Amino acid sequence: MNDLDLASSTVGSGSYLSDDVHFLLRPVDLAMTDVLEKERLIQTRQKHYSEMISAEHAPTSTHMALFERSLRQNGLRMAADVQSLALSLAEHYATGTLVLVSFVRAGLPLGVLVRRALLGLGRDAYHYGISIVRDRGIDETALEAIIGAHGAQNIVFVDGWTGKGAIAGELARCLGHDPRFPNGPRMVVLADPCGRAWLAASAEDWIIPSGILGATVSGLVSRSIWPADGGLHGCVVYDELRPHDVTRSFIEHIEAARAGVAVEPANPWSAAQAAQLQLQALQVVQRLAGRFGISNLNRIKPGIAEATRAVLRRVPDQVLVRDREDADVQLLIHLTDRAGIEVQAVGDELGPYRAVTIIRGVS
């Protein structure tokens, strides 16, 4: 990895191999906030979600068994999709070194895997993990350091998936008028059911194995934390979860599967494709907002990964699934059963999504 001037003040590569990624995040010591209290502060707008963090616990044995099942079920698909994305990037950026800028945390495993796939195609690539925060913006200190070292022309932003497209919207808000990105900031994801990424392996909402764990599959770092005093965004390093860490073994598992795949390059959405996907997703969110009397759309978390994370990190009211027997929603069902959360099977009402979590209104 390239050493930037500010690299010495960061958390390094977490539990990833040093060549896989460099986090441009500084370590912070932040008091944990109870989930219920955090939800109250968020919804009463006394604090932004990025100013607080709750304790992250080791996954239960059942949770890990479901993670392992998702690897057996969808590991080969993820490997094929990684290769397809790498082939497309190699075509679209025919010369020069690619610079992958992954959003912490969901983008990290994909960024690591795509960089390795690019190396396998004979291309060189740098990979950084930085923060972007909904309604607050991208980490400008980190991004400017990357641009200063590499330029902006071959930067590609990486996230794991899209839900409603909030992060894609935030990226466009921050950089859409930046002349250093004449084609706009380009975001790459595995799954893009709402059609807001530049490049995706598919529009299908499916259970991405790395999307059902947190720090223990993402280098042992927390989600990013907004800096009260400016500068680099922060994170908590969960050293206490090291005995449960599968960060490297997950990468090696997908890498081994990728060695045997033969795929075609993914294609960026056409304007018509993107518009159709965006309309379908918006209609679902608006329909659910009307049904449940929700004015703050941040309380609607569509997509399997977002719905699962909301159950783990927020205060859910209920969960909607297309089909309770769907193998891809079984972890979600397990988590809701443990928490006593109602689950409704609503069929095609969810449109492109297979699951949605509704966050409880808290006054």
The tokens describing 100, both together, are: 């992958």
Q: 117 pLDDT exceeds 90? A: yes
- The 3-class SS string of the chain reads CCCCCCHHHCCCCCCCCCCCCEECCEECCCCCCCHHHHHHHHHCCCCCHHHCCCCCCCCCHHHHHHHHHHHHHHHHHHHHHHHHHHHHHHHHCCCCCEEEEEECCCCHHHHHHHHHHHHHCCCCEEEEEECEECCCEECHHHHHHHHHHHCCCCEEEECCECCCCHHHHHHHHHHCCCCCCCCCCCEEEEECCCCCCCEEEECCCCCCHHHHCCHHHCCCECCCECCCCCCCCEECECHHHHHHCCHHHHHHHHHHHHCCCCCCCCCCCCHHHHHHHHHHHHHHHHHHHHHHCCCCHHHEEECHHHHHHHHHHCCEEEEEECCCCCHHHHHHHHHHHHHCCEEEECHHHHCCCCEEEEECCCC
The tokens describing 122, both together, are: 């004979």
Q: 105 pLDDT exceeds 50? A: yes
Q: What is the mean pLDDT of residues 306-325?
A: 92
Q: Give dist(CA 86, CA 93) in Å, integer.
A: 10
Q: What is the mean pLDDT of the chain?
A: 94
Higher pLDDT pick, 130 / 315: 130
pLDDT the model gives residue 1 = 42
pLDDT the model gives residue 6 = 64
pLDDT digit string (tens) for 42-88?
988 999 889 899 889 999 998 899 899 999 999 999 999 999 999 99
Q: 111 pLDDT exceeds 70? A: yes
Share of residues in the chain with pLDDT > 70 (%): 98
pLDDT the model gives residue 362 = 79
Which domains, and CATH codes, for the chain?
7-258 (3.40.50), 271-359 (3.30.1330.30)
Q: What is the mean pLDDT of residues 183-206?
A: 97
Q: 349 pLDDT exceeds 90? A: yes
pLDDT digit string (tens) for 233-281?
999 999 999 999 999 999 999 999 999 899 999 999 999 999 999 999 9
